[in-house]
Amino acid sequence: MPQIAFCFLNTNAIVLDNDRLKLAFIRTINSKVRMIFIQVAPPQMSNVVTMMCGACSNENAMKHMFISYQRKIRGNDTDYTETEMKTSITNLPPGCPELSILSFYESFHGRTLGALSVTHSKAIHKLDFPAFDWPIAHFPKYKYPLNENMCENDKEDDRCLAEVEELIEKYRKKGKPVAGIIVEPIQAEGGDNEASPIFFQKLQLIAKQNSASLLIDEVQTGCGVTGKMWCHEYFNLPTPPDLVTFSKKMQVGGYYHTAEMKPSLSYRIFNTWMGDPGKLLILEEVLNVMQQEKLIENVNKVGKKLMNELFHLQYEFPSVINSVRGRGTFLAFNAADSKMRQKLILKLQELGINIGVCGERSIRLRPALTFQERQASMFLDALRGAITLVLA
């Protein structure tokens, strides 16, 4: 009877549960996923899991790291003991092991409960929510200009990396071994903090030496805004990161992972929708436009102009702005202090410029990939005007 009712209520030429129709839909979606995501995949990463947003992408990518870590201990990820199966139901070890993820101060990885445990930028994001006891290391804080402070910044890299190693050992002794490390190529919400390729290369090595996975969160930096499709391509890592998350400009959330990270069992990583198939069509057209209009080349050209002019402004007005930094058009600079930043923001708004902030005193640029040199000139003129008004 239900089958008859289904047929009566269906207004399509072919009923929706027709096997050939369902197979055609599945083939179309699978083909789209392969064609769209793999063409822009990070080098040597041919596996992708789609999600809805950046937070759930990081949340599930962290679960993926736990699966990988336990597989290394077990020798596989299918031979579970009866005790493991039973204790997992009540959140107890060995079924739910005491593992941890190492993150960095001033990071932002999302607002779901697990993602909040690795987010450390704004208190209002975390107030009232329970969190895991997981290690937090300091991310490098560089002195600018970079070419005038190489020695100090190298020491800063070494200091932060030494802390990472100390925390991994500390949590191993606590019985909460680090299963993975999550890090942004540029800490966006925390203040557009950047680190050197050497820092990331050594961080990857530390992860491998401790059987931990490396997850690079490209939710903000992915899809061409830094002048490459993926910001971590600047780091010249000897091997690919284990996982790379994405969302925002990519229209749909998700993460890439290496073949070695793939679980043996299905449903280990799963939810109702597993992303939004409709958004694939939007992403497909975004990528077509990016290629046809050479938008990544445009980002590099406009970014170079912005960076050069911002350097001139910081040398001309050192009491107002400093520490110009970034890649592509993913740029930022510091105001002298938070009060000066607020004055600049208000003056820029009066001049018709809407711009964002991050960290304690940073102002960040987040234009679209289509941002042109003439628009960059308009912004730079307005910024000069705002600085002049603040100093008047």
How far, in Å, CA of 215 to CA of 58, rounded?
9
Q: Which residue has the tokens 């890592």?
A: 237
pLDDT in tens, 116-155: 999 999 999 999 999 999 999 999 999 999 999 999 999 9
pLDDT (average), residues 306-324: 98
pLDDT (average), residues 20-34: 70
298/15: higher pLDDT: 298
Mean pLDDT of the chain: 93
CB neighbours of 223 closer than 8 A, spacing ≥ 6? 40, 229, 246, 248, 249, 250, 286, 369
Domains of the chain: 40-291 (3.40.640.10), 295-391 (3.90.1150.10)
DSSP helix/strand/coil, 198: helix
Please check the confidence at residue 255 and state whether its pLDDT lies above 60. Answer: yes
Please check the confidence at residue 19 and state whether its pLDDT lies above 80. Answer: no
pLDDT in tens, 47-69: 999 999 999 999 999 999 999 99
pLDDT (average), residues 156-164: 99
pLDDT (average), residues 16-39: 73
- The whole-number pLDDT of residue 123 equals 95
Catalytic residues: 108, 217, 248, 272
Q: H or E element: which one contains 28?
A: helix 19-39
pLDDT in tens, 168-211: 999 999 999 999 999 999 999 999 999 999 999 999 999 999 99
How far, in Å, CA of 95 to CA of 84, rounded?
4
How far, in Å, CA of 377 to CA of 193, rounded?
25
**Residue pair 87/95 in contact by the 8 Å Cβ criterion:** yes
- The whole-number pLDDT of residue 35 equals 86
Query: Beta strands 178-183 and 136-137: pairing type?
Result: unpaired
Least confident of 26-35, 113-122, 227-236, 377-386: 26-35
pLDDT (average), residues 230-236: 99
pLDDT in tens, 64-103: 999 999 999 988 767 889 999 999 999 999 999 999 999 9
DSSP for 280-339 reads: HHHHHHHHHHHHHTTHHHHHHHHHHHHHHHHHHHHHH-TTTEEEEEEETTEEEEEESSHH
- The whole-number pLDDT of residue 27 equals 67
How far, in Å, CA of 16 to CA of 10, rounded?
7
Please check the confidence at residue 320 and state whether its pLDDT lies above 70. Answer: yes
Crossing angle of the two packed helices 295-316 and 373-391, in degrees rounded to 10: 20
Residue 337 CB: number of other CB atoms within 10 A?
11
DSSP helix/strand/coil, 115: helix
Task: Dig out the tokens for 134 from the structure.
Answer: 């997981």
Please check the confidence at residue 14 and state whether its pLDDT lies above 70. Answer: no
Please check the confidence at residue 6 and state whether its pLDDT lies above 80. Answer: no
How far, in Å, CA of 364 to CA of 158, rounded?
27
pLDDT (average), residues 359-374: 97
Roughly how many angstroms between the first and final C-alpha of the chain, as a whole number?
81
Q: Which residue has the tokens 């070419």?
A: 147
pLDDT (average), residues 267-283: 89
pLDDT (average), residues 8-27: 60
Type of residue at 193: N
Q: What percent of the chain has a predicted confidence (pLDDT) above 90?
A: 84
